[in-house]
Structure 1
Amino acid sequence: MNHSPTTAAELRGLVNAVILPGFVGTTVPGWLAGALKNGLAGVVYFAHNIDPDAPGQVAALSAGIRAANPNAVIGVDEEGGNVTRLQAREGSSIPGAAVLGALDELSTTAAAGRAIGRLCREAGVNLTIAPVADVNTNPLNPVIGVRAFGADTALVSAHTVAAVQGIQAMRVGACAKHFPGHGDTVADSHMDAARVELSMADMREHHLPPFQAAADAGVAAMMSAHIIIPELGEAPATLNPLAGALLRDMGFDGLLITDALDMAAVRATVGPGEGGVLALLAGSDLLCVGNPLNAYTSGRDDASCYTEVYDALLAAAESGRLPVEVLRRAGARVATFVQWSQQEPAAPLPVTEPDWVEVAARACRVDQGAAVLTDSEAVVTLIDARTGHNMAAGPTENFLASALMDWHEVQEVAAAAVDAQALAELAGTEESLGEPVLVLVDCLSSPEQRATLAAVAAVAPHAVCINAGLAPAAGTPSATALATIHCHGFSRVSAAAVVRLLTP
């Protein structure tokens, strides 16, 4: 297609049209309003943009963004389960992928997708960066885990399609991630370069099918992963033209969005600005800049995070290194997506949803029988043995403690405080051994968490382990001698499900 020569103003607009930054605050800051008026593609919301104490705040924020740019893309990581932004403080009311995969009811997964889509529409969001289409084949994976539907390729493919169809039934774009598959890594690409030591034949057999299924189902967008597949070269997939070509060869012509450019695989190598240039040259359409409040942004403000990428793109375009046609192609895909998202859902959809707590409870697996909290007067000791938090989810409240407090008095104990003296007090007298003790873990392969479980089991064999991480395969030896409830994630709905199982 022939185009007239590009003016300086047009070029600035084309550059803006492929950038999707984060920002700080619950209202539209001045720099963002100006960028939106000059064609900025849109924004990504993070938890700090949401004020749960102000009903209607998010919808008003979205309206303010669209007042500056009626065609703005407003995205959010709303996966359900562990990863939520719109419900970050209270925890997600919608089960996460591992819960849905364990239950393996496609109609329920589609309903969860509709619930996520409805939540987004009410907030004025037109793109949810979900579902996770990764096949979590490596149990040591530190960043995917319970965010995936499971470790079986066919199961993940089927549930990815169901989730996509549910989300997009609400005219909210779904975004399958993290192409070409982050499920077999042992590094978190937020903090380090992540390598997948698999052949492309293995990738095609085990990890690409869910993305092919999503493409065939008409998914609006896909998000690239900052992962290195040696057979494709040493560049992370986001910056690798071979990875971009691989996706397009699968028949996908929707939006290709980068994972955040402030993550280590990009930030600590070429940097976000150059990373944005390389990502566009590799086939990306929309550059997710990242969360300006992440500790690793080195104290830069939100406007600086945006301008670093904008300036690099503009310089590359002005020099001819970044062809204008690349920007036009990417901007056209963004415009096509926005036009689709502005239409109403094709048909009325049911507004009633399943009892999500009941859904999450049915998905739980109980090993060795779990004690029941029958004495409402009992003080529940809750030992939190978790050793950190998933970077994608961010730090959260202890939803299990909150759910328990609706029924019992709760004594919260950090695992670091469970020393010999504390264990002796926990054991106490013979009568006190009947007091309920729960130990919360999220990684049964963690030596620290296993040590806490063993120490507690030695003095309180009646204690119950609440595993919010991956469950071991059925029939395999348990990592603990304690009765265990595997709830496949840590969210408000899963915590309520555990309490429902313990207090029938």
Structure 2
Amino acid sequence: MGAIDDRALRALVNGVLWPGFLGRSVPEWLRDELDAGLAGVVLFAHNLGDEGERMSLAAELRGHRPPLVVGIDEEGGNVTRVEAAAGSTLPGAAQLGVVDDLALTEAVGRELARVSLSVGANVVLGPVADVNTDPRNPVIGVRSFGETPELVARHAVAALRGIRSSGAAACVKHFPGHGDTHLDSHHSMPELAIGLDELERVHLPPFQAAVDAGVDAVMTAHIIVPEWGEQPATLNPVALGRLRAMGFDGVIITDALDMAAVRESVGAGAGAVQALLAGADLLCISNPTNLGAEAAIDQDVREFREVQHAILAALDDGTLPVDVLERAVARVRRLAATLEARERGESSSFDGAVVARAAITVDGVIAPAPGPRTVLDVRGRSTLAVASDRDYVEATIADGGDVLRGDAAVPGSGSLIVLVDSVGTDGVQRRRVENVARMRPDAVVVNVGVPVAPGAALPLPTLHARAASRLTATAVRELLETGISA
């Protein structure tokens, strides 16, 4: 009898699997797998419909026994699933980092947990503990609390403390640090071009601080650290062994196995087996909508079966020892039991608008620009980590005016706002701003990405907002109305 026909072995395999799924209710195939021991699921924006659908889904997930581990990417700022349609109303990490009020960051953590629990998710996939040291970084950027390990460490700990106090688990990410990369692991395989000494000195301290603070889970990064070998951290026993050596005995969760860094190198199935052998406990399989129009109608089932069957085959041929699965499942079940027993705290009261305004800095003088305004959005495509529709940022700032994109002709009159998110180094967006400045020296730049370094100011007055969210866009619109003097 093969592993696929052994109910006990199949339950062990299911106990380390964490899939996404299509639809706004639990599909039949997923219900069967939950009954067969599946660890839980990850929720995405497409799963969350209207209030009634959300309540029904949350109740259905909570109704399963043993208790499930249900995750969601809810970071505030740019990354939200619960508020994806209209944009997050909570501050993001970069905003919290520049305000640097730990009590506020803890309060935001409590609120992130509250909104996650409201849709049935008990694991918040955050905070981001990456130190954003590369201004070209296309995937972390304003999702990081900042550029120094001390700042990131203290805010990551404050955020996870808030998340835990509201009854959810925090999962810090992306170990060993995705902040010094200029490639997005959703689309390619990044490699850290730094020495191990710099990694240890700059990028690991926030994770060590989180471990010392008792974080429940850590998510891995699909990045190569050359001195640890050719495998990305998710699949690398040296990398995950380093995490265990830091004193972490919680759940190691992989970043999604459908990301190109794994999918286009070893494949999701083989990657799942390698991740388990390396020391991972819970395998985040996919967001089945990532392929867009190329996705099959049963993309969720296909991706789940690829990983499930690869692990079953590895058990059959002896590649994967059963005791590796048993240890991983024990950690996942321990987390599920802990969350079942954890009491839910009260939500926090704070004024997000005040935070958004306090996080804004300005280069130059911003003359009053009452609406309507023309917004020229020259931002590139969002990373797949950002699920929300960016249109609300444009529309809020335009305040009834036109929205132009990319290489559109520059209007000759009226209030003109150039919207950017990657101008820290020379590139397409910076050159576009320079071109606009020659034609419209009265234009204003709104930067929702990482601010430019001192001495690298843009040739137009620039408002650095540090997030692309509904909360931030509203604060920007209000400041443009009144203007900002030097």
Calculate the TM-score normalised by the size of structure 1. Answer: 0.91
Structure 2: distance between partners of 1:249 and 1:282: 14
Task: Tell me the equivalent position of 1:493.
Answer: 471
1:25 aligns with 2:34: no
**1:441 matched to 2:441:** no
Matched, 1:85 2:81: yes
**Whole-angstrom distance in 2 between the partners of 1:476 and 1:7:** 65
- Residue 415 of structure 1 is matched in structure 2 by 406
Structure 2 residue aligned with 1:129, among 125, 128, 132?
A: 125
Question: Over residues 450-480 of structure 1, what are the superposed CA-to-partner deviations in whole Å (9 max), with x where a residue is unaligned?
Answer: 232123222322211000111023x3230x2
- Cα distance, 1:105 vs structure 2: 1.1
Which residue pairs with 1:450 in the alignment? 430
Q: Does 1:461 align with 2:452?
A: no
- From 165, 168, 172, the counterpart of 1:176: 172
Give the secondary-structure state (helix, strand or coil) at the position aligned to 2:338: helix
Determine the structure 2 residue equivalent to 1:198: 194
- How far residue 493 of structure 1 moved from its aligned partner, in angstroms, is 1.0
d(CA) in 2 for partners of 1:109 and 1:500?
24
Secondary structure, counterpart of 2:51 in structure 1: coil
| Contact kept? 2:375, 2:397, Cα under 8 Å | no
Matches within 5 A, 1:83-232: 83-232=79-228
Q: Could you tell me which amino acid in structure 2 is paired with residue 495 of structure 1? A: A
Task: Give the Cα–Cα distance (whole angstroms) in 2 for the partners of residues 116 and 487 of structure 1.
Answer: 21
Using the alignment, how far apart are the partners of 2:445 and 2:473 within structure 1?
13
Equivalent in 342, 345, 366 of residue 343 of structure 2: 345
Letter in structure 1 aligned against 2:15? A
* Kept after mapping to 2: 8 A contact 1:401/1:410: no
1:247 matched to 2:243: yes
Residues 290-299 or 441-450, more deviating? 290-299
In the alignment, is the contact (CA less than 8 A) between 1:39 and 1:69 conserved in 2? no
Three-state SS of the structure 1 residue aligned to 2:171 is strand
Is the alpha carbon distance of 1:17 and 1:272 closer, same or farther for their aligned partners in structure 2, counting shifts above 3 Å?
same
Q: Match of 1:75, SS? A: strand
The answer to whether the 8 A contact 1:89-1:397 is kept is no
Distance (Å, rounded) in 2 between the aligned partners of 1:15 and 1:98: 38
In structure 2, C-alpha distance between the alignment counterparts of 1:240 and 1:471, rounded to whole Å: 34
Separation in 2 of the partners of 1:56 and 1:109?
30
Of structures 1 and 2, the one with the larger relative CO (CA 8 A, separation 6+) is: 2
Task: Tell me how far apart the structure 2 counterparts of residues 194 and 285 of structure 1 sit (CA, whole Å).
Answer: 23
Q: Separation in 2 of the partners of 1:7 and 1:393?
A: 39
Deviates more, 1:491-500 or 1:446-455: 446-455
Q: Does 1:278 align with 2:274?
A: yes
Q: Output the TM-score relative to the length of structure 2.
A: 0.94
- 1:395 deviates by 5.8
Tell me, yes or no, if the aligned pair for 1:171 and 1:340 is still in contact at 8 Å: no
Unaligned residue ranges in structure 1 (runs of 5+):
none
Stretches (4+) displaced over 6 A: none
Q: How far 1:7 moved relative to its partner? A: 9.2
Residue type matched to 1:491 in 2? S
How far, CA to CA, are the matches of 1:121 and 1:196 in structure 2? 35
* Aligned-residue offset at 1:343: 2.3
Distance 1:285 1:381 in 2: 50
Sequence identity (%): 45
Residue from 386, 394, 408 that aligns with 1:401: 394
Structure 2 CA distance for aligned equivalents of residues 394 and 450 of structure 1: 25
Counterpart Cα distance in 1 of 2:195 and 2:456: 31
Gaps of 5+ in 2: none
Aligned length: 477
The answer as to whether partners of 2:4 and 2:10 remain within 8 angstroms in 1 is no
* RMSD of Structure 2 on Structure 1 (CA): 1.9
Amino acid at match of 1:461: P
Three-state SS of the structure 1 residue aligned to 2:215 is: coil
Deviations 1:302-354 (A, max 9, x none): 111101111111111233321111111111111111111112437x53x3421
Identify if the C-alpha distance between structure 1 residues 7 and 450 changes in structure 2 by more than 3 Å, giving closer, same or farther: closer
The CA distance in 1 between the partners of 2:438 and 2:4, in whole Å, is: 73
Q: Identify the match of residue 302 of structure 1 among 300, 303, 318.
A: 300
